[in-house]
Structure formats: structure tokens, C-alpha cells
């Protein structure tokens, strides 16, 4: 396996960034055209179009899209007890973390009857897309649904594609039961996103769509943004590790592979001040990847988008990490506390040798729905705040408005908006 080790230089850095940017480029035009057609068809034909596309892409469509509460409970009761316990423990951690994100409104009482403030309301209805079949991720159910519940969303609607036999993945249904999903529909792909955004006779229209999916799902979300809100337009997964000579090569290799196995477009990067560690990690990647069930994906990902960069100083390594703004960043160095305050751009930060990325994916509590492709420079992880809206509140008494009327009229008339000014004048 050819994983590149490069000495840090401006040329090597720019070449590497250019390679990463390629994989997060514009969606293929044919995909956009296909998804646009699906959206338009669902808009015109509703459930009939959704059923036709489900048969076309999944092989079989259920008689009724909605899964009954009894079916969800049966799936939950049929799962392995240890799996259910693990899901519940993860859900408890996720819930405890996100409870701290709850936002309160405020009111400011000024002199002479001026009252202004802000109220925070949960969204009315949210759609959660969850991949099914071989790419089923129960952890994504917990990460997307629990913050929405805490935010006070009135109804959470989940869509998930059918398995090959036309049934729902039972692990996904068990996670939906634990997280508190209100309704579940057995439909996937761009047609499911279109149905959630536009509404059909069977599938209710939502205010926001969250959750991961393939390129068709991501494209549908992108095209329908504005008709409906979305969480983010996510690119391929990525991990960046900053490590010094204290790090273990076998740990670092394992952590790089934990993201590489997602997708051949996934990126795994190690930035280190130790040439010895870099060489050890290459050997460990070769050894460990042969033991993994998704060996071919891992090797393809690492050969195309893997990189080990050797820097002269830790400050140089940190500067490069901030420039790349990765989805997941591990900091495995002798003096973590010295360097953590210098990190500004990362979706989620993992500190020390015993905080590997999968702890965040499944269990610790912070959300695993994270900005990718350098967007951690300005985007944040999914949170309770993703599921609320804020409204300004203004209440003036007659006395308060009389005191301010001349200023308001002057500002309105200066802008040439005489009807605005008149709405103040007419009251006096």
C-alpha cells in the first residue's frame, strides 16, 4: 500500500489540499439532472412516484409506507439485549450532553413601557433520513433525533430505505424506538427527501431534513434547500491526527483506518513531528488493513487521499491542521493542554491517546454530525440549536412610542419610505 510520507513544505501542502478539494467538488451533472427529475415527479405524482422509484431502486415497495408502532416495538423487542443496552447507554450520554445546549429566550424591560426580547421555539416537524440495508447506522438515529427532541420539535418523522427483502432494518427501528421517533416511513433515496420536503398524501411535509445519505440524497437536500431547511451539505468523511513522538504507531494507524473504511473518498491524514512515527504508521497500516473486513476500501482511500506529513515543529503542525479544518481531529501529544487552545478549526476534537474517533461516533455524547471539507472554519456540529427558531418580540406602550416617534419618522423618511413614517404619525 502506497501511503505518502512528505516533508512539510508549501508545495507539498498546496498539492495535498488540491487533492482533497477534488473529492469534494461539484456534484456530477448527471446526478443533479436525475435528482431534479425525481423531485419534479414526486411534486406532480406524490405517492405514486415515490412507489415507482422505490420499486426501481430498491426492488420492492411496501404495501404501506408507514411502519406501525407495533412493528417498531417488535423490532425493538427482537434485538439482542446487549445491543439494546449499548444503544441505551449511548442515548443517555448523548441526551446528557445535548441537554446543556438548551437555549432560553430573554426579555429586556426598558424605561417608559419599552419591552423587547427573544423567544425560542422548537420546529414543528422535522424529517430524519437514515440509511438502511448494508449501510445502516443506528448511531445516526440517536445523534439526529435526540437533539431534536430536546429542542422541543413537535413531531419527528424518520425515513429509511427497505432492505433487499422489502422490510426495515430492525436495528434502525430499535434505535428509533429508544430515541423517541414519532413516525417511521419505509422509503429512501432522493424520492424520500422530495416527499419530506414537498409532502405527499402519505408522507407529511416537514420544516427541516437532517441525516446522512448517498450522493443522490445529498443532492436532493441541496436542491430542495430553501423549500425546506437542511442540516448541512456533507462531503466524504475525514480524520486528521496531530501527533508527536509520544504517540503509538499502532494506535495512529488504527485511527486513520477508522475513517478510511467509510468510503474510497474518505481522507485520513497524520501530521507529526516524528519521522520515526511516520514510518511506523505506514508499516502498521499495511499490517492492520489486511485484517479488516473492508480492506479494499481502506487501501483505496489511503492510497488516494491518505497522507502523512512530517513537520519541523508542533506549531507548524497545528497551523496546518487549522488550515485544513477537518471533520474529526485527534491531538495525541505529550502536552495536550498546551496545544489545545491553539486549535480553532475542527468539527470535533479528540484529546489524548485514549480518545479515538469512534468514541465520538457512537458513545461520548457530542454530536457526530459534523462539518466536512474544510467547512469547520465556519460551520458547527448538529446541535439542539439546529432544531429551533428564534423570534424577536417588541412591545411598546403609547407613551414609549411617543417618545421615539420623531427618530423613527426621520429614519423612515430619509430612506424614502413614507408609508413607514405614516404608520407612526397616524397614531399621534
Active site (catalytic) residues:
327-328
- CB neighbours of residue 304 within 10 Å: 16
HSE-CB of 194 using CA atoms within 13 angstroms: 27
Chain centre distance of CA 321:
20
Place of cell 456540529: 381
Angstrom CA distances, 287 to 249, 275, 290, stand at: 11, 19, 6
CA distance 118 to 106: 5
Amino acid at each position: 500500500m502506497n501511503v505518502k510520507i512528505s516533508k512539510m513544505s508549501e508545495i507539498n501542502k498546496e498539492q495535498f489540499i488540491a487533492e482533497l478539494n477534488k473529492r469534494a467538488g461539484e456534484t456530477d451533472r448527471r446526478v443533479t439532472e436525475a435528482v431534479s427529475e425525481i423531485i419534479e415527479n414526486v411534486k406532480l405524482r406524490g405517492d405514486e412516484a415515490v412507489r415507482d422509484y422505490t420499486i426501481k431502486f430498491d426492488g420492492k415497495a411496501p404495501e404501506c409506507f408507514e411502519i406501525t408502532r407495533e412493528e417498531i416495538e417488535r423490532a425493538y423487542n427482537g434485538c439482542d439485549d446487549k445491543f439494546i443496552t449499548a444503544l441505551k447507554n449511548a442515548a443517555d450520554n448523548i441526551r446528557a450532553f445535548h441537554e446543556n445546549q438548551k437555549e432560553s429566550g430573554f426579555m429586556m424591560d426598558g424605561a417608559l413601557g419599552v419591552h423587547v426580547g427573544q423567544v425560542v421555539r422548537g420546529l414543528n416537524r422535522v424529517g430524519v433520513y437514515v440509511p438502511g440495508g448494508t449501510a445502516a447506522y443506528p448511531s445516526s438515529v440517536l445523534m439526529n433525533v435526540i437533539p431534536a427532541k430536546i429542542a422541543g420539535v413537535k413531531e419527528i418523522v424518520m425515513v429509511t430505505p427497505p432492505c433487499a427483502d422489502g422490510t426495515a432494518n430492525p436495528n434502525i427501528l430499535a434505535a428509533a424506538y429508544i430515541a423517541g421517533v414519532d413516525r417511521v416511513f419505509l422509503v429512501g433515496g432522493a424520492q424520500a427527501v422530495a416527499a419530506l420536503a414537498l409532502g405527499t398524501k402519505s408522507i407529511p411535509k416537514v420544516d427541516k431534513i437532517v441525516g446522512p445519505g448517498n450522493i443522490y440524497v445529498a443532492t436532493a437536500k441541496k436542491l430542495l434547500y430553501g423549500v425546506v431547511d437542511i442540516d448541512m451539505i456533507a462531503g466524504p468523511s475525514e480524520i486528521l491526527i496531530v501527533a508527536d513522538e509520544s504517540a503509538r504507531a499502532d494506535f495512529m494507524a488504527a485511527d486513520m483506518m477508522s475513517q478510511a473504511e467509510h468510503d474510497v473518498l474518505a481522507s485520513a491524514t497524520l501530521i507529526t513531528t516524528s519521522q520515526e512515527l511516520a514510518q511506523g504508521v505506514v508499516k502498521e497500516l499495511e499490517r492492520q488493513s489486511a485484517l479488516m473486513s473492508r480492506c479494499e476500501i481502506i487501501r483505496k482511500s489511503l492510497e488516494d487521499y491518505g497522507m502523512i506529513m512530517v513537520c519541523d515543529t508542533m506549531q507548524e503542525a497545528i497551523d496546518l491542521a487549522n488550515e485544513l479544518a477537518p471533520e474529526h481531529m485527534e491531538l495525541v501529544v505529550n502536552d495536550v493542554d498546551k496545544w489545545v487552545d491553539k486549535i480553532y478549526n475542527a468539527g470535533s476534537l479528540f484529546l489524548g491517546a485514549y480518545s479515538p474517533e469512534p468514541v465520538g461516533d457512537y458513545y461520548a455524547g457530542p454530536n457526530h454530525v459534523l462539518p466536512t471539507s474544510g467547512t469547520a472554519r465556519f460551520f458547527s456540529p448538529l446541535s439542539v440549536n439546529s432544531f429551533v427558531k428564534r423570534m424577536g418580540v417588541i412591545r411598546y406602550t403609547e407613551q414609549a412610542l411617543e417618545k421615539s416617534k420623531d427618530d423613527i419618522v426621520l429614519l423612515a423618511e430619509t430612506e424614502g419610505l413614507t408609508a413607514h413614517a405614516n404608520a407612526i404619525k397616524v397614531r399621534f
